[in-house]
């Protein structure tokens, strides 16, 4: 079950990275958080070349890596912007459907999961959606009134991150190391360009640099675990398991920020665990 374990670890790392990024974006411009964290991730993955350099893959694998970077940049930008201007519960719920992209792709190519894994995929997606839909009873003054705005950005996020899952799988077939490097070079270039265009105000303190570096490293760990899991196992299974990160984020918010879990969130966590168990058994 190495692929299942790696995908779950990927989900954990994604959840931690997103949680920390959410905390920092309360005080720092979003584009700053994205650019610095991704630059650190790029430096870290590039440093692995000093330890070991795999065979240079064909050009098509670099193209998949670049595509993975583009789709990830779009997905992350839409996610955080949607959470900032729309209804968070709606944005997160729609964004949780990202695994549908690689699932549809694997069905088309014939590499489909078995019946038990199909059950696990459906249950896991349902559980994540339950978690996202069950929001605290509080009035968010920053949320726009039109639900269509939240749905649109949620769909863009789902397509972007779903596209990343699919493109990274293909890129990793040539070389996990070079797939991660090419994707990260792409995201850094995109976020650096956005930083130069917008020129956000505010200076980073030493503590900020450390936290942003940790966010980038956790994101790199998550991407790395997912890339390996998608190659070793069935893509759709790895994609769904690595998308269970909302569970991690909710638990961190509960124990670190003192947020209380509602009955709906507890039920969602239970459903997610059932789905994960079904995927592992299958």
Q: What is the pLDDT of residues 56-66, one digit of tens each?
A: 888 899 999 99
pLDDT of amino acid 3: 79
Does the pLDDT at position 78 exceed 90?
Answer: no
Query: How far is it, in rounded angstroms, from Cα 267 to Cα 277?
Result: 15
Report the chain's mean pLDDT, rounded to a whole number.
Answer: 80
Per-residue tokens: 94? 């729609």
Confidence of residue 31 (pLDDT cuts 50, 70, 90): very high
Does the pLDDT at position 4 exceed 90?
Answer: no
Query: How far is it, in rounded angstroms, from Cα 185 to Cα 166?
Result: 18
Does the pLDDT at position 70 exceed 90?
Answer: yes
CA angle 205, 83, 12 (to 5 degrees): 70
Does the pLDDT at position 1 exceed 80?
Answer: no
The residue count of the chain comes to 282
Does the pLDDT at position 214 exceed 90?
Answer: yes
When pLDDT is averaged across residues 33-38 and rounded to a whole number, the result is: 90
pTM for this model (two decimals):
0.77
Query: How far is it, in rounded angstroms, from Cα 57 to Cα 243?
Result: 27
Contacts 24+ apart (CB under 8 A), 101-108: 101/158, 101/159, 101/162, 101/163, 101/165, 101/166, 101/239, 102/162, 102/165, 102/166, 102/169, 102/235, 102/236, 102/239, 103/236, 103/239, 103/240, 105/166, 105/235, 106/234, 106/235, 106/236, 107/236
Q: What is the pLDDT of residues 80-134, one digit of tens each?
A: 777 667 666 667 767 777 777 877 777 777 777 778 778 888 888 887 777 766 6
């Amino acid at each position: 079950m190495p692929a299942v374990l790696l995908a779950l670890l990927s989900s954990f790392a994604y959840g931690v990275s997103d949680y920390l990024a959410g905390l920092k974006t309360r005080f720092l411009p979003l584009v700053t958080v994205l650019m610095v964290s991704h630059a650190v991730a790029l430096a870290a993955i590039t440093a692995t070349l000093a330890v070991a350099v795999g065979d240079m893959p064909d050009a098509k694998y670099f193209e998949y890596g670049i595509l993975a970077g583009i789709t990830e940049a779009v997905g992350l930008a839409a996610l955080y912007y949607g959470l900032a201007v729309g209804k968070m519960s709606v944005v997160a719920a729609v964004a949780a459907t990202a695994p549908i992209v690689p699932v549809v792709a694997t069905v088309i190519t014939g590499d489909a999961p078995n019946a038990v894994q199909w059950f696990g995929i459906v249950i896991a997606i349902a559980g994540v959606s339950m978690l996202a839909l069950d929001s605290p009873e509080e009035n968010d003054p920053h949320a726009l009134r039109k639900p269509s705005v939240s749905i649109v950005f949620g769909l863009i996020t789902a397509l972007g991150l779903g596209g990343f899952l699919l493109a990274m799988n293909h890129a990793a077939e040539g070389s996990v190391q070079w797939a991660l490097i090419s994707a990260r070079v792409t995201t850094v270039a995109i976020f650096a360009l956005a930083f130069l265009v917008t020129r956000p105000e505010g200076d980073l303190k030493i503590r900020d640099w450390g936290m942003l570096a940790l966010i980038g490293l956790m994101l790199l760990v998550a991407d790395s675990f997912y890339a390996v899991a998608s190659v070793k196992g069935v893509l759709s299974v790895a994609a769904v398991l690595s998308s269970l990160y909302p569970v991690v984020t909710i638990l961190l918010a509960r124990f670190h920020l003192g947020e209380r879990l509602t009955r709906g969130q507890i039920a969602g966590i239970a459903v997610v665990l059932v789905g994960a168990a079904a995927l592992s058994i299958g």
